[in-house]
């Protein structure tokens, strides 16, 4: 099972300072049409990012 910290690291490339629970993003992947999940995390003290990751393909994005 993927932890919130691991999911954020997959999208960000580095481990976050803190991460919230993984949620269903209620959207379909623009590349393959499968389900997308999201996680909110803090890559630094002054920034909060929401990352989106497809469960079936490599697609990911953030709200930056």
Say yes or no to pLDDT of 1 above 80. no
Longest dimension (CA), the chain: 34
Mean pLDDT of the chain: 95
Q: How much of the chain, in percent, has pLDDT values that exceed 90? A: 95
CB count in 10 Å sphere of residue 11: 19
pTM summary value: 0.89
Residue 23 · residue 8 · CB < 8 Å: no
Q: Where exactly are the structural domains of the chain?
A: 4-62
Say yes or no to pLDDT of 63 above 80. yes
Tell me how long the chain is: 64
**How far is CA 45 from each of CA 16, 18, 39, 42, 63, rounded to the nearest angstrom?**
10, 9, 17, 7, 17
């Amino acid at each position: 099972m993927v932890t919130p910290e691991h999911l954020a690291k997959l999208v960000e490339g580095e481990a976050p300072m803190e991460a919230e629970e993984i949620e269903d993003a209620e959207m379909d992947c623009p590349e393959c049409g499968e389900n997308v999940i999201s996680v909110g995390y803090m890559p630094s003290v002054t920034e909060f990012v929401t990352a989106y990751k497809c469960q079936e393909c490599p697609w990911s994005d953030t709200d930056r």
